[in-house]
Amino acid sequence: MTKKKKIVVFTGSGVSAESGISTFRGGNGLWANHRIEDICTPEALIYNRQEVIDFYNTRRKELLETTPNAAHYAITELEKHFDVQVITQNIDDLHERAGSKNITHLHGELRKLRSSKDETATIPFEDWEQKMETKHADGSLLRPFIVFFGESVPEFDKAMKIAQQADILLVIGTSLAVYPAASLVHCVPNSVPIYLVDPGEPNISGITNPLHHIKMNASEGVPKLVEMLIKEIE
């Protein structure tokens, strides 16, 4: 039996935006209306806890009202033909709901909470509204399972190792401007083809791999790309 090629799929906010998820960056992004220092730093969680909790409660409520789109389902379809690993900057669970199995979340997950003492001590959270004073079993206050500005990215080393094993890299809906996540495109071997799906002009400086830029939104471009990749191995 022929060994399946390994496809690594690196996704950003452009994938989730088409499902109605608010993006953080851009002219109408969440950071245009909120100060990062007020809601997305460890210090904010201490001195501005109510606003931080309310902000992520709103994001969680929004998430529960959305569904995966054609891009999410197309990525799932790849798993029937390739060994697929998804690395995402997104904190939603739309990849999971679409059926993807192997997902690494770089920036955390809205549908989980974590201990304030231990970043690995997470619990699933099915509701949308976190109460202010809810505590973890270790006695610390629960907080959103989100990597705040100024915090390390615990899953980045794992993501780097996954990227290094890629036979094909798909980069979908990301500006390649948020580090360290954006540096993953430089972790794949130089011979590995990179397929970029984004209607804009992501930062591709320094990429020397064979590069194919599909200038479409994710829900349109990803199904077309997946269909092409599957046909190539049939």
Please write the tens of the pLDDT for every residue from 179-225: 887 889 999 999 999 999 999 888 888 899 999 999 999 999 999 99
Q: Are residues 97 and 83 in the same domain?
A: yes
* Whether residue 16 is found in the same domain as residue 53: no
188 and 163 housed in the same domain: yes
Please tell me whether residues 201 and 164 are part of one structural domain.
yes
Average pLDDT over residues 143-162: 94
Q: Find out whether 78 and 114 touch, Cβ atoms under 8 Å.
A: no
pLDDT over threshold 70, residue 28: no
- Residues 149 and 151: their CA atoms lie apart, in Å, by 6
Q: Regarding predicted confidence, which is higher, 177 or 81?
A: 81
61 and 26 assigned to the same domain: yes
Question: Beta strand 108-115 with 142-146: parallel, antiparallel or unpaired?
Answer: antiparallel
Residue 31 has pLDDT above 50, yes or no: no
Q: In terms of domains, do 232 and 183 share one?
A: yes
Query: Which H, E and C letters describe 70-125, residue by residue?
Result: HHHHHHHHHCCCCEEEEEECCCCCHHHHHCCCCEEECCEEEEEEEECCCCCCEEEC
Question: What is the extent of the structural domain holding 230?
Answer: 1-20+68-107+153-234
Q: Tell me which residue has tokens 């770089």.
A: 106
Same domain, 93 and 162: yes
Order of strands across the sheet with 6-11?
103-105, 83-88, 6-11, 168-172, 194-197, 211-214
Strand-pair partners of 146: 108
Span 51-78, mean pLDDT?
A: 94
Side-chain-side CA neighbours of residue 152 (13 Å): 6
One domain for residues 82 and 159: yes
Determine which helix (DSSP H) or strand (DSSP E) holds 172, and give its type and residue range: strand 168-172
pLDDT tens digits for range 5-21: 999 999 998 999 999 88
- Give the C-alpha distances (Å, rounded to integers) separating 154 from 68, 100, 124, 161, 187: 26, 21, 18, 13, 17
pLDDT at 37: 77
- pLDDT of 133 higher than 50: yes
Tell me which residue of 93, 96, 74 sits closest to 172, measured CA to CA: 74
Mean pLDDT of the chain: 91
What's the structural domain count of the chain? 2
On whether both 61 and 174 belong to a single domain, the answer is no
Q: Which residue has the higher pLDDT, 217 or 33?
A: 217
Which domain-ending residue is among 146, 170, 199?
A: 146
Asked if 177 and 215 sit in the same domain, the reply is yes
Task: State the maximum Cα–Cα separation within the chain, in Å, rounded to a whole number.
Answer: 58
> CATH number for the domain including 122?
3.30.1600.10
What per-residue confidence (pLDDT) applies to 34?
63
State whether 192 and 157 are in the same domain: yes
Q: What is the pLDDT of residues 98-132, one digit of tens each?
A: 999 999 999 999 999 999 999 999 999 999 999 98
Q: Tell me: do 34 and 128 sit in the same domain.
A: yes
CATH code assigned at 72: 3.40.50.1220
Q: Which residues are catalytic?
A: 107
